Amino acid sequence: MARSRPLFPGHQQPRIPGELGFYDLRLAETREEQASLAKKYRIDGFCYYHYWFAGKILLQRPIEEMLSTGKPEIDFCLSWANEGWTANWVGNPNKILMAQTYPGEEDHRAHLKYLRPFFTDPRYIRVDERPLFLIHRPFDIPRLREILEIWRKLAKEYLGCDMFLVGVGNQVEELLSQGFDGVTTHSLHPALNDYLTRFRKVRQMFMHRVLNRPRWVIPYQDLMPFMIRDEWKCNNVFPDIFPNWDNSPRLGRQALVIIKSQPDLFAKIFRQAAEAVRGRSSDRQLVFIKSWNEWAEGNYIEPDLTFGRGYLEAIAGVVESIATDPRLRSQKESEYT
């Protein structure tokens, strides 16, 4: 990431971390600093990617140490990133690094036994008194509906309760019909699909081929009207929003580069998402922000040298504004009486 360079005038590269610097998540003090910042700016918890490949676990040390030590003291949940690892992130999707397979019920049983200590941790996020668990690529799982029923059966056996299963994707009705309790939608991909009219695609292709710019260069503000999704109004849909995107450190001129993102614009999107969920029960008032620290995709809210704590301050400002909104207070008083 630090070796990245601007590919056109005004391109913000490289992106350099601010006060947290270049860190190692295996270090407890790093995790403590992250949690301290998150809580200070009204972020209630972290959703960690979890990697399980038919019994082989990868990148597990940070969450296992968090579990064993009880630190940091911040709520969390897990999202099973159930896709095979390829070199796609550096432009070579055909190179398989770790294949994702689904060998059968015994593997699901072993998986849930591994997850049980996390689900029973007092910090673990629960919805309807059930541990919240996301599946990143649900339709990659063969016999999906049947497998979700197996997971529920195993959860009752190991936990004494059901799980609150959330599928990640934009096929809301189909995911719910497969047996998921909720859905968190991607906002980037549908926003791009709605924004990229035929004329805009042609214009982007011209800029790419003639002016040698990255494949897609789009102002954040132009995408904003398309980020706000009608499906957020559904009680079982939890918004997923993003502060920025620039994966040129990985893909060079084949990248998607969203330009001119800034905290005040992100705050407007976050407010729309927060407003969409605020009338729900407290455990369903969930908004996912992608991401806390995906630096190689320019997709983060941690402090950097450009905006400092600007994105964190934007989040806190929206949360505090909604919490003190007299309309919401009147609504709660009415519900109480």
At 225-241, the pLDDT tens digits run: 999 999 999 999 999 99
Q: What is the pLDDT of residue 1?
A: 85
| Interatomic CA distance for residues 89 and 85, integer angstroms | 9
Q: What is the mean pLDDT of the chain?
A: 93
**pLDDT tens profile 138-191:** 999 999 999 999 999 999 999 999 999 999 999 999 999 999 999 999 889 999
Cα dist from 23 to 126, 296, 303, whole Å: 30, 14, 13
Give residue 328's pLDDT band: very low, low, confident or very high (50, 70, 90): low
Q: What is the pLDDT of residue 332?
A: 46
Cα dist from 38 to 58, 78, 150, 196, 307, whole Å: 25, 17, 35, 34, 16
3-class state of residue 103 by DSSP = coil
Q: Please tell me the pTM assigned to this model.
A: 0.92
Which structural domains are found in the chain, ordered by start?
1-31+188-284+298-337 (no CATH), 43-184 (3.20.20.80)
